A and B are shown apart, each in its own frame.
Chain A
Amino acid sequence: MPDSITAPSRPRIATARRGPLEFLGAYIERHAQTFVASLGRMTRQPFATLMTIAVIGIALALPLCLDLLVDNVRAATGTWGGAVELSVYFKPDVKLAKAEQLASALRQRSGIASVDVIAADEALKEFREFSGFGPALDALTDNPLPHALVIRPSPDRVASPSHIDALRRYLQNWPEVDLVQVDTEWVERLQSILDVARRLLLLAAVLLGAGVIVIVGNTIRLDIENRRTEIEVTKLVGGSDAFVRRPFLYSGFWYGLGGSLLAWGLVTLGIHLLEAPVNRLAGLYGSSFKLVGLDPRMTAILLAAGAILGWLGSWLATARHLRAIEPTA
């Protein structure tokens, strides 16, 4: 063929003769390079970058704070477990010795913090003192009150109504027991309040997450406008849509990750500032309550969520705006 004389054979495209390993190496190299380059570009406009990251950080910190509030309230009610008590009233013919024997058996059970025996005589004395019915009670020939037990569940079980209910049913089945009284109402109410708070938290997280997507999307849109020439030239020399889009996707990733790191910092700082006063307050109530901070799992979720939201925002912006830029040279 005469063609082969005038046009010497050489690889038409640079990628023509490469093994799969070489291809993978080039692929990783290219991504790593863009990955770092997009970060470098952001540091060259520190003020604009920090503004964006600050907005994302605050948006992410809000649901995070709500989440910690819910966690802490739950933990706090755990340490106020003394407030939940079961009162067990024995049948009138049950002797005090039997009541004490049952009490010590109960103390062996798990999930129980303390068991106090209230003898009938003591109960009557107390009642006489505090009720103001003293003279009326004197008219009685014998003590109408039974022996009783006051049971406090252990703190870690107190927030669980099902556990307390199970305990109540267990006690009720004893032949010696006449009546078991539990005041679980406030625990249930607290649970409902926490449920509402958790639902609010979910709503806030969804809304603010959408906010992060919009913030990143808008930042990337401006970035695309600023780099119009570069995009045009890249497309002119054969850059595909994916190639042109890649640095913007990585920028979105960095914005999101930076924002979630800032949110982590803000929340950690907040916990640190609140720790001393909260401990003092808990001390005044005789509670050993400790403020719960961000655990590693929550931190990982936060960082991943930030990075994914940032990536998503920039994906949407590039899908919308990059296509519109075509070289017109």
Chain B
Amino acid sequence: MIHFEHVHKRYPNGREALSDVTLNVSDGEMVFLTGHSGAGKSTVLKLIALIDRPSRGRVIVNHQNISGVSRRRIPAFRRQIGVVFQDHKLLHDRPVFDNVALPLIISGMRRRELDKRVRAALDQVGLLGKENVAPLELSTGEQQRVGIARAVVSKPLVLIADEPTGNLDPELALEIMRVFRRLNDVGVTVMVATHDLHVVDHFGLRRIALDHGRVAENDDEAGYAG
């Protein structure tokens, strides 16, 4: 589902964010992308969401080579993947419902169906009943769950998350990860970037560790290990 082949990413300032990264995530799998800050976790996610383009190498997401996705096709491509950000990226001028509904409004869904889907997504993250609350009235953990609901409301096949538990205490962090786990149980391919090893150990899922832009450890030795 997510496939990197000898991917390099060099930024204009000369920093090499990724060097020869090869990794693979199968359909319906959930993996952790670990490594301390600056190891290249965010860069991997940015390449998947087409926020950035690789300098060299191939990235294949949902059976599409992303280098073939033109600028005009990027929006349609992004609608196939859900993205969760460390800083939530919620819009504070509108209630929770409107935040979660945004991807559906973009794809042109009608009001009746949209209502059902937004409620279902909020239910999945345990926030049903908070539709009309302003995001800033929620706790950080709840805001993050709104961000997750928005990422999954259009039922993407791939969900990527960048340090979703970065600002949360261990108990809340586990709770957020359980939400991802439940989504993975219903078939969504999930990739979570985190430096929180406590959380990673708790779930015992496959981990891909990055160090200075290289793959340092990949449990999936049989497959596409770099």
Residues of A within 8 A of B (CB): 3, 6-8, 10-15, 22-23, 25-27, 29-30, 33, 229-230, 232-241, 243, 326-329
Is the CB–CB distance between B104 and A328 below 8 Å? no
Is the CB–CB distance between B75 and A329 below 8 Å? no
Q: How far, in Å, is B182 (CB) from chain A's closest CB?
A: 14
Distance between Cα atoms of A8 and B185 in the complex (Å): 11
Contact pick for B186, options A3, A8, A236, CB 8 Å: A8
Contact pick for A238, options B27, B28, B76, B157, CB 8 Å: B76
Is the CB–CB distance between A15 and B78 below 8 Å? no
Question: With A7-B27, A240-B75 given, is the CB distance from A15 to B109 under 8 Å?
Answer: yes
Q: How far, in Å, is B28 (CB) from chain A's closest CB?
A: 3
- Residues of chain A lying within 8 A (CB to CB) of residue B91: 229-230, 233
- Closest residue of chain A to B42, judged by CB? A329
- Residues of chain A lying within 8 A (CB to CB) of residue B51: 236, 326-329
- Closest residue of chain B to A9, judged by CB? B187
Q: How far, in Å, is B89 (CB) from chain A's closest CB?
A: 5
- Residues of chain B lying within 8 A (CB to CB) of residue A234: 102, 106
- Whether a CB of chain A sits under 8 angstroms from the CB of B195 is no
- Closest residue of chain A to B186, judged by CB? A8
Distance between Cα atoms of A57 and B130 in the complex (Å): 43
Distance between Cα atoms of A206 and B112 in the complex (Å): 47
What 1/0 flags go to B104-135 for Cβ under 8 Å of A? 11111111010001000000000000000000
Instruction: Please provide the chain B residues from 63 to 93 with a CB less than 8 Å away from any CB of chain A in the complex.
Output: 72, 75-80, 83, 85, 89-91, 93
Distance between Cα atoms of A25 and B109 in the complex (Å): 10
- Residues of chain A lying within 8 A (CB to CB) of residue B83: 236-237, 329
Is the CB–CB distance between A239 and B27 below 8 Å? no
Is the CB–CB distance between A238 and B107 below 8 Å? yes
Given A236-B51, A236-B78, A237-B150, 9 other A-B contacts at CB below 8 A? Answer: A14-B155, A23-B108, A26-B108, A29-B111, A237-B78, A237-B79, A238-B75, A326-B51, A329-B85
- Residues of chain B lying within 8 A (CB to CB) of residue A11: 155
- Whether a CB of chain A sits under 8 angstroms from the CB of B46 is yes
